[in-house]
Structure 1
């Protein structure tokens, strides 16, 4: 009986010990901590005594996860995963039919620019041509001027025809004098029919075309102010050819400079009144990037398109390539004559063109493999399982490919999509 009591007591102590161990294990299985203050650790849920946030489990004991082949890729580092998924390519050495995209503007042939000078001094009473690029036609009235010389010449012709009609030689000389002063045959015949001199004389255009360099810039204060005649006032002060120099003449405009014309201003003999360009033959000037000037030569085919006329194409050829760069510009000029340009284009119109040419053997890569970062173009070359940016010089393009003139070798391996490797918060350090 004594031994039986001892056995029951041992069993009771063993059961109590097992329950205590399970209880302690259950309570110690999960610890709770504050996300903001990790030094706070408790063995039961609650709130943080510092910030009042709810405590969260710190560690949960459970069964381990078996790593299978489907989950093995998750154990790779981030860099190795990204590099493994980037497609690569190698530069190809070949010859292609390259295309150069050009932007330009329609301009006029300077050899077809004509000046309309003032043949007589006087004052502009009425002006009919007032803005730049205004179209005019031959025989169109340009302005009406008051000129003492014209009044005197008209009166001389009328006097001779009335007092000495038999003196044909003097009458012919008087008619010729009026013609030298800018009068047309129709104006002279009208004068003889009416028998009265006109105090305002109309000047007509001798050319067809467009007016250029007219009132393009505001006149300077010294150029727009004209002095009054030295003697007399109004019409009397300009009587005779000798009185014309008494008025301060507007400065003579050189070629390419703006001509200022206003009603009421004085003009002198020889002063250019207008410059007219004949628009029957126009050309287009295009900017050519520095790396493509050697590819385009005289006679290269060019396809010109007009943004204002969708679908309209014009086939032409390169007529002139400027052999130098203008100061302050990074482009050379390429000139193309426009056949039938009088019907499709206008002076000042923006145009675009595609010039094609056969390239020499060169390295070609996909356009997406080259990234333009403003001052340079870069490609990402693979070196020891990582990609590093390298500066490249590009040439012409053909379809989805672009020519590499320097920076890569045929044995290099580069990323097919350079944009994929650019981090918006990083700076590309180029390895030359």
Structure 2
């Protein structure tokens, strides 16, 4: 084969150049590409967030163990991140463990059922003071006891009056000269008329020709004697009251309206009421008058019903229990109403937790709301919520605690922020656990403001105790109202550090224990709630020691089917609130909080 060497060299060079060109085309950018791929992977690794499947509020920049349950952390799915970074996530298991339940917000007519207590009283306009028109000595009493019925115009007493005898003698002399001295005659008659004598009585005296020694006092109205003010033989002056007489054909029913319920009661409202001495019967009446001034001691105003008392079945001083179905106003027919258990408050702000469901699961976002009037166990929401939104109604404290641990907005930290408890080690978060009951019962140093806030709360608790000692259910209810008002007014921001969690735990237990006290029908229900309240108050007293004097923890082993129960007292004397008059001294002092 005649191929020149020059040709071979040319072909070889062409092949080498072509191979280099193809190699560059296929693999020329591989080094840079590998470097970029490595950097990208490194960037993803550094941005991975790790969490706990049982406690989604835990967030860490690197893998490790959950500081709460010890489970291995898992990476968060970056394709389905939280819709709202300020919300706290809760797994279904965590919600079940925390007893969290939710409700959809709805609108309804704001009607509040007010439970009212009151008494039957006389109609003040039908009460009359029967006075004597003559001064003298009581010679005879036709009405001798309180409660006797008198009729108008009938004699109720007889009086001997020297002045009246003298006036009659003057009349006899004037009759003799009435033709020549008619003016004198008329003056003598007028003097007797001033003593309420009628013309017929005066004519009878003239006809008889001798003065009357015992003159009758006739009743001015018909009614029942409610007060007897004189006795036989008493000397009385002209105009002095001798009887109080009341017409009971119409009576007043006066109900106590508490200051917090004043917005709901108005003139014209219909009240249905029952009386213990007339079981099975129901009465009704309209409010005709409400006191314009609140009693400064009891903090109540009186609402008056005017009731016809047919058959005199309603007797003054009878106790009455009434119900008023009140509507705040005609323009509030579509108000947003939520349960009280859904609301958390600090004294300045009221917040709820709104449920959000995303592809990543369930989360809750804190939202501040403006509260309107209370409806017993519910609140009217003025601002902050719309119909159709879903909120947590139970377990809100657990959600708030999770939000605080995760550095999300919470009740005490509305702006959110890093958790200050525990330590950070390489990006992982260690969270301080809730103190045990034994730790909570240890004395904790608190500031003066916190102690001052607790003093009136403890005094209101002792008022409940004293009422139960005296078997006074109504007194216990009123004291409970004062306790609940005082508890709601305490600014929880005065409790800082370790004391804050202790206050949150015990105050929520106290609130829950007495939240239905206004509806208790007997002392047994009140005492059962008082037992739970006492457990919380004992914990607060041991932890914060709010008083400078000794506080005694007292125990009765026979309460609750011999399980025993405790209470607080400022006296070392045993006065048992669980048995009252049945066993007033049952118990012993088990501890003294100094």
Give the TM-score range, shorter chain.
0.5 to 0.7
**Which one of the candidate residues 180, 188, 201 is aligned to 2:215?**
201
**Which one of the candidate residues 102, 117, 124 is aligned to 1:103?**
117
Aligned match of 1:191: 205
Q: Say if 2:262 is the partner of 1:293.
A: yes
Q: Say if 2:299 is the partner of 1:330.
A: yes
**Which one of the candidate residues 111, 117, 120 is aligned to 2:131?**
117
Aligned match of 1:355: 324
Deviations 1:320-369 (A, max 9, x none): 22232112112111112214567443333332321112245364549xx7
**Which one of the candidate residues 138, 141, 146 is aligned to 1:127?**
141
1:187 CA drift (Å) = 4.2
Distance 2:234 2:533 in 1: 65
1:312 CA drift (Å) = 3.2
Aligned match of 1:155: 169
Aligned match of 1:312: 281
1:283 CA drift (Å) = 2.0
Contact 1:91 1:363 in 2 (8 A): no
Sort the Cα spacing of 1:115 and 1:313 in 2 relative to 1 into closer, same or farther, 3 A: same
Deviations 1:294-333 (A, max 9, x none): 1111111212333333333333211122232112112111
1:123 CA drift (Å) = 1.7
Aligned match of 1:274: 243
1:151 CA drift (Å) = 1.0
Q: Say if 2:393 is the partner of 1:413.
A: yes
Sort the Cα spacing of 1:426 and 1:159 in 2 relative to 1 into closer, same or farther, 3 A: same
Distance 1:299 1:119 in 2: 42
Aligned pairs, how many? 281
CA RMSD of aligned residues (A): 4.4
Deviations 1:105-125 (A, max 9, x none): 222333344333332221222
Aligned match of 1:403: 378
Max Rg structure: 1
Distance 1:362 1:293 in 2: 21
Sort the Cα spacing of 1:282 and 1:168 in 2 relative to 1 into closer, same or farther, 3 A: farther
Structure 2's unaligned 5+ residue stretches are: 1-92, 343-352, 354-362, 364-370, 386-390, 397-508, 514-528, 542-594
Contact 2:98 2:395 in 1 (8 A): no
**Which one of the candidate residues 224, 227, 244 is aligned to 1:210?**
224
Distance 1:323 1:91 in 2: 40
Q: Equivalent residues in 2 for 1:40-59 (5 A)?
A: none
Distance 1:132 1:396 in 2: 45
- The structure whose residues are more often strand, as a share, is 1
Higher relative contact order (CA 8 A, sep 6+): 1
1:88 CA drift (Å) = 4.8
Distance 1:152 1:92 in 2: 87
Aligned match of 1:378: none
Sort the Cα spacing of 1:424 and 1:316 in 2 relative to 1 into closer, same or farther, 3 A: closer
Q: Say if 2:301 is the partner of 1:321.
A: no
Aligned match of 1:180: 194
Deviations 1:56-87 (A, max 9, x none): xxxxxxxxxxxxxxxxxxxxxxxx99x85968
Distance 1:91 1:331 in 2: 36
3-state SS of 1:325 partner: coil
1:131 CA drift (Å) = 4.8
Sort the Cα spacing of 1:330 and 1:150 in 2 relative to 1 into closer, same or farther, 3 A: same
1:165 CA drift (Å) = 7.5
Distance 1:352 1:317 in 2: 15
- The structure whose residues are more often helix, as a share, is 2
Distance 1:363 1:429 in 2: 33
Contact 2:147 2:224 in 1 (8 A): yes
**Which one of the candidate residues 140, 145, 149 is aligned to 2:159?**
145
Structure 1's unaligned 5+ residue stretches are: 1-79, 216-259, 371-380, 385-391
Aligned match of 1:345: 314
Deviations 1:104-160 (A, max 9, x none): 122233334433333222122233345555432212322221111111122333445
Which range moves more in the overlay, 260-269 or 144-153?
A: 260-269
Which range moves more in the overlay, 312-321 or 330-339?
A: 312-321
